[in-house]
Amino acid sequence: MSSVLKKTATDARAERTLRTELFERYGCGPVQFSGNPNASYERHLVLDHVVKPGNASAREVFEALARSLRDLIAQRWLKTGETCDRENPKQVYYLSMEFLIGRSTSNNLLNLLVEPFVREEMARRGVDLDRLDDEEPDAGLGNGGLGRLAACFIDSMATLAIPAIGYGLRYEYGIFRQEIQGGRQVERPDNWLRRPDPWEVDRPAEAVDVRLQCAVQSRRGTPVLVADRPTLLRGVPYDRPVVGHGGRTVNTLRLWGAAATDAFDFAEFSAGDFFGAVHEKVVAENLTRVLYPDDSTTAGRGLRFAQEYFLVCCSLADIVRRFRARGNDWGALPDKVAVQLNDTHPALAVAELMRILLDGAGLGWDESWDLTVRTLAYTNHTLLPEALETWPVRRFELVAPRLLEIVYEINRRFLDEVRAKSPGDDGLAARVSLIEEGPEKKVRMAHLAVVGSYSTNGVAALHSRLLRETVLKDLAGLFPGRFNNKTNGVTPRRWLLLANPGLAALLTKAVGDGWVTELERLGAIAPLADDPAFRERFRAAKRAAKVRFADWLRSATGEVVEPASLFDVQIKRIHEYKRQLLNVLHVLVLYNRLRENPALDAPPRTVFFAGKAAPACHLAKVIIHLVNNVAAVIDADPAARGRLKVLFLPEYNVTLAQRLIPAADLSEQISTAGYEASGTSNMKFMMNGALTVGTRDGATIEMAEASGEQNFFLFGLTAEQVANSRGWYSPFWHVEHDPETRLALDLIRSGTFDLGEPGVFAPVLDALLAQGDRYMHLADLTSYVNAQEQVVALYGQPDAWARKAILNVAHSGRFSSDRTIAEYAADVCGAGPCPVD
Ligand SMILES: *Cc1c(COP(=O)(O)O)cnc(C)c1O
């Protein structure tokens, strides 16, 4: 941006003050502001890479710049830790198997407030900051919403100065890279650490040892667990700074990497099997090699249980060590430590904390239990029965028999209480038991989490209610006080300020920059929805964002899209319940209409899809294939040219979301009501001035409430209607009675999209018809098509459209993750800010 170069005198004064202030805050200046060869950026080039600044590659320039930014952070990072050690505040620990953080450099630049200065300094050296971005791979350490939520939460906690540490695993391979070949998804390994990551600091001195009852060995190339071979694994922390906005608090994201201990190979070595010992050491280190790529299912996960155990053991050991080092007595644990479990993946923490208190601290059962329950809290993320975790008792015996003993004892005491409270109700005891009986006994991880913690929250009002009324009904009856709601949010730093600089600048001009940390302030733009001049500026910002995206798309992929067309966007994991198929059916309805009536009056529309399918989920992969083939057929048809275009963008990740969301006119949030726990992309779109076509599901309900339902395109069955019509719903009724539905399905059946592979899309027709259409696509299609007609009608009135879009932005304040975190802090964990001076 050239704005830094064209400064007024007051701007220049303000900038000098800010520079001085930041210099004091960080103890040094960004790239030292000088061109001095000893300055930090050049030093990193010369001393780390041994390259002359003029000869450095883009990657070397990126690494040196990132390291020089880390230099800025270092003092604050240390100071944050020292402040916590000194003040001994209640500390929040966020345990999550996933952190979908995306890129760090641009986000840290922004939160440190040094972006304009660094841009100017780098421009002076002939380096364009924006071009460096692409040198950084996305840290894709998550599948989707759950992992992204964890990333937004640690950002908000740092910004709110809440002393917090995020704990996760350092997967060497994150979520797979998606390529499309012949219309199909192909998974490629994501080797994101191939080159050293300048943002991580390994801390071998703080490694912890984890005891497994089994060994990790390799059988025909796949790692397997071998019983009764007790093993010590080492968890090595890799820390990443989490910079609060303004750079005052720098919290830590601590990711554990598995390593073999030295003792590990020694025994084998003395037995003479040198090669075997080294091989086993390598295999043991496989534990944190790869993130399991399944979203919402529990199948096929050989090492996953051991990964969860590893995360929990490493993190609790670290938490307890820090707690004791600050001189606290065991009895103070719930006053000084709040552990939030992101879904049941870290629910073993209940048993492991008990083990530490019983076996390590030597406390009695009752005291240990009281401390454990008052320290842990649990967030539920799904109502899908196939996604509720259970682990065979056999796995526990294999990996951690002591934790199984503890789970059994927790369950024995719990069921005694249940029976004492409701004598004779054996059904209740069986339903709430931590153990699922059957041919294979399993531990119900959600029950373990609810029984072993003081708080269970859902992630949107509807989801929390359904949790209480359906899947966890009996437990909610036993512990009514534990259940609560915390509607999700997203960080406005990454999702508005960073992703959409044009709109961000317009908002700042209108209401000042306070919205960056207090998003509710955007409420002040509501009156401007009726100001024609503001509407025009708002529309210009959207147009610019669309052009920017179209330009990037052309240069990155060669695809050409028309910025004047309606950008209709559905980007999220591909899953049956999210109903990408409903969107496809609507596209087919539009396509049929265009073929029927070439003179049809409809605005040109570009329908974007992006998302990854779980590699083991056949139907989801067929849906991707269908979208690609529909796109190809429509592209080749003159009847649709310039009027309807479908595009599947491969490799959906955080960076792609940051690019596309600002450009969207229409946000598709069309899950079957009752199935999307909250959704968070819905919130990102709302902040960026898209209108939403959506079902009454997840947080979309609350978004429509906040902005007024007249500013939303809501359609379809409610969660109650979905549940109540389960018994009698038949998709065939709709085939018979809705002509456009029939025509759309006929188009698929006709083989129009098969492109030489007859029957490839039979699984889609099967799911929608023969198998009963579990997610009720056909029930909602007509009302969806009607809602889309209202979309088109409004799009034809640009002023009226802009007015509603502005009102949506104005009322998006509630959906900042700062609000969610403030609610957690106040109602759940009782932790407050601990400002770093
Ligand atoms: C926000 C986000 C998600 C979550 O999207 P939903 O539509 O809420 O499921 C998933 N993946 C990425 C990369 C995201 O940025």
Average pLDDT (631-655) is: 97
Which residue from 572, 655, 815 has its CB within 8 A of the most atoms of ligand 1, so it is best to mutate? 572
657 Cα: distance to centroid of ligand 1 (angstroms): 8
Catalytic residue selected from 44, 322, 355, 684:
684
365 Cα: distance to centroid of ligand 1 (angstroms): 42
State yes or no: pLDDT of 746 exceeds 60: yes
The answer to whether residue 684 is catalytic is yes
Q: For residue 137, which of 490, 499, 653 has the smallest C-alpha distance?
A: 653
30 Cα: distance to centroid of ligand 1 (angstroms): 32
Is 721 among the domain residues? yes
Is 286 among the domain residues? no
State yes or no: pLDDT of 6 exceeds 80: no
Is 208 among the domain residues? no
The DSSP letter of residue 44 is I
| 750: Cα within 13 Å, side-chain hemisphere | 9
Question: Using one digit for the tens of pLDDT, what is the confidence trace for 431-442?
Answer: 999 999 999 999
Q: Which atom of ligand 1 is nearest to the CA of 656?
A: 13
Do residues 130 and 91 make contact, with C-beta atoms less than 8 angstroms apart? no
| pLDDT (0 to 100) of residue 10 | 79
State yes or no: pLDDT of 623 exceeds 50: yes
Is 19 among the domain residues? no
Q: Which atom of ligand 1 is nearest to the CA of 571?
A: 7
The answer to whether residue 463 is catalytic is no
H-run or E-run covering 169: strand 164-169
The answer to whether residue 6 is catalytic is no
Is 531 among the domain residues? yes
Which residue has the least CA distance to atom 11 on ligand 1?
144
CA distance 825 to 207: 29
Amino acid at 561: V
596 Cα: distance to centroid of ligand 1 (angstroms): 36
In this structure, the chain runs to a length of 837
CA distances from 462 to 67, 332, 456 (A): 44, 35, 15
295 Cα: distance to centroid of ligand 1 (angstroms): 12
Which sign does the torsion angle of CA 388, 394, 400, 403 carry?
A: positive
Q: Is the CB of 653 under 6 A from ligand 1?
A: yes
Catalytic residue selected from 49, 70, 381, 586:
381
Do residues 344 and 311 make contact, with C-beta atoms less than 8 angstroms apart? no
Percent above pLDDT 90 for the chain: 84
Do residues 624 and 574 make contact, with C-beta atoms less than 8 angstroms apart? yes
Which residue has the least CA distance to atom 8 on ligand 1?
679
Question: Using one digit for the tens of pLDDT, what is the confidence trace for 10-19?
Answer: 778 887 888 7
Helices then strands, each counted (H, E), the chain: 35, 25
445 Cα: distance to centroid of ligand 1 (angstroms): 25
Amino acid at 339: V
Domain boundaries, position 791: 492-811
pLDDT, greater one: 692 or 218: 692
CA distance 678 to 461: 8
CA distance 451 to 435: 12
Q: Is the CB of 679 under 6 A from ligand 1?
A: yes
336 Cα: distance to centroid of ligand 1 (angstroms): 33
Residue 54, classed as helix, strand or coil, is helix
Which residue from 149, 488, 571 has its CB within 8 A of the most atoms of ligand 1, so it is best to mutate? 571
Do residues 225 and 211 make contact, with C-beta atoms less than 8 angstroms apart? no
Which residue from 99, 384, 680 has its CB within 8 A of the most atoms of ligand 1, so it is best to mutate? 680
Q: Is the CB of 612 under 6 A from ligand 1?
A: no
Q: Is the CB of 658 under 6 A from ligand 1?
A: no
Is 619 among the domain residues? yes
pLDDT, greater one: 299 or 760: 760
Q: Is the CB of 680 under 6 A from ligand 1?
A: yes
Average pLDDT (589-612) is: 95
* pLDDT confidence tier of residue 4, bands split at 50, 70 and 90: very low
Which residue has the least CA distance to atom 10 on ligand 1?
144
CA distance 381 to 458: 7
State yes or no: pLDDT of 608 exceeds 70: yes
Which sign does the torsion angle of CA 685, 689, 694, 698 carry?
A: positive
Report residue 631 as tokens: 């796109």
Catalytic residue selected from 103, 322, 463, 578:
578
Q: Which atom of ligand 1 is nearest to the CA of 680?
A: 8
- Measured N-to-C along each axis, helices 798-810 and 532-557 cross at an angle, to the nearest 10 degrees, of 90
State yes or no: pLDDT of 159 exceeds 90: yes
pLDDT, greater one: 43 or 653: 653
The answer to whether residue 612 is catalytic is no
State yes or no: pLDDT of 281 exceeds 80: no
Q: Which atom of ligand 1 is nearest to the CA of 678?
A: 8
Place of tokens 């009698």: 728
Is 588 among the domain residues? yes
Q: Is the CB of 572 under 6 A from ligand 1?
A: yes
488 Cα: distance to centroid of ligand 1 (angstroms): 12
The answer to whether residue 254 is catalytic is no
Do residues 442 and 390 make contact, with C-beta atoms less than 8 angstroms apart? yes
| pLDDT (0 to 100) of residue 14 | 82
State yes or no: pLDDT of 272 exceeds 70: no
Convert 465-484 to b/e letters by CB count within 10 Å (16 or more is b). Answer: ebbbeebbebbbebbeebbb
Which residue has the least CA distance to atom 4 on ligand 1?
145
Which residue has the least CA distance to atom 3 on ligand 1?
145
Which residue has the least CA distance to atom 15 on ligand 1?
654
| pLDDT (0 to 100) of residue 455 | 97
State yes or no: pLDDT of 35 exceeds 50: no
State yes or no: pLDDT of 778 exceeds 80: yes
Place of tokens 């802009």: 802
Calculated CA dihedral for residues 778, 780, 781, 785, nearest 10 degrees:
170
State yes or no: pLDDT of 628 exceeds 60: yes
681 Cα: distance to centroid of ligand 1 (angstroms): 5
Catalytic residue selected from 680, 692, 695, 700:
680
State yes or no: pLDDT of 300 exceeds 70: no
Average pLDDT (547-551) is: 98
Radius of gyration of the chain (CA): 27
CA distance 667 to 571: 9
Q: Is the CB of 91 under 6 A from ligand 1?
A: no
| pLDDT (0 to 100) of residue 32 | 52
Q: Which atom of ligand 1 is nearest to the CA of 657?
A: 15
State yes or no: pLDDT of 570 exceeds 60: yes
CATH number, residue 508: 3.40.50.2000
| pLDDT (0 to 100) of residue 296 | 60
H-run or E-run covering 353: helix 349-355
CA distance 487 to 116: 34
Q: Where are the beta strands (DSSP E) in 201-304?
A: 201-202, 208-212, 215-219, 222-226, 231-243, 250-260
Report residue 571 as tokens: 């980007």
* pLDDT confidence tier of residue 295, bands split at 50, 70 and 90: low
Catalytic residue selected from 254, 444, 572, 645:
572
138 Cα: distance to centroid of ligand 1 (angstroms): 14
Q: Is the CB of 731 under 6 A from ligand 1?
A: no
Q: Is the CB of 654 under 6 A from ligand 1?
A: yes
CA distance 249 to 89: 14
Q: Picking from 35-49, 539-553, 609-623, which range would have the lowest pLDDT averaged per residue?
A: 35-49
| pLDDT (0 to 100) of residue 269 | 56
The answer to whether residue 605 is catalytic is no
CA distances from 803 to 97, 130, 466, 799, 818 (A): 41, 32, 34, 6, 26
Q: Which atom of ligand 1 is nearest to the CA of 578?
A: 9
Q: Is the CB of 103 under 6 A from ligand 1?
A: no
Q: Is the CB of 681 under 6 A from ligand 1?
A: yes
**Domains in the chain: how many in total?**
1
638 Cα: distance to centroid of ligand 1 (angstroms): 34
Q: Where are the beta strands (DSSP E) in 502-565?
A: none
CA distances from 103 to 77, 135, 494 (A): 19, 10, 10
Q: Which atom of ligand 1 is nearest to the CA of 698?
A: 8
Convert 676-712 to b/e letters by CB count within 10 Å (16 or more is b). Answer: bbbbbbbbbbbbbbbbbbbbbbbbbbbbbebbeeebb
CA distance 541 to 528: 15
Mean pLDDT of the chain: 93
Tell me the pTM.
Answer: 0.96
Convert 182-209 to b/e letters by CB count within 10 Å (16 or more is b). Answer: ebebebeebebbeeebbbbbeeeeebbe
Which residue has the least CA distance to atom 5 on ligand 1?
681
| pLDDT (0 to 100) of residue 194 | 95
Question: Which residues, at least 6 apart from 741, have a Cβ–Cβ distance to it below 8 Å?
Answer: 585, 734, 735, 778, 781, 782
Residue 290, classed as helix, strand or coil, is strand
186 Cα: distance to centroid of ligand 1 (angstroms): 20
Q: Picking from 151-160, 221-230, 480-489, 730-739, which range would have the lowest pLDDT averaged per residue?
A: 221-230
State yes or no: pLDDT of 425 exceeds 60: yes
| pLDDT (0 to 100) of residue 27 | 75
State yes or no: pLDDT of 270 exceeds 70: no
355 Cα: distance to centroid of ligand 1 (angstroms): 36
Do residues 284 and 260 make contact, with C-beta atoms less than 8 angstroms apart? yes
680 Cα: distance to centroid of ligand 1 (angstroms): 6
Catalytic residue selected from 573, 575, 645, 819:
573
Q: Is the CB of 659 under 6 A from ligand 1?
A: no
Q: For residue 804, which of 715, 714, 679, 713 has the smallest C-alpha distance?
A: 713
Report residue 510 as tokens: 């209108």
Degrees, nearest 5: CA angle 542-544-548:
115
| pLDDT (0 to 100) of residue 7 | 60
H-run or E-run covering 810: helix 798-810
Is 199 among the domain residues? no
| pLDDT (0 to 100) of residue 2 | 40
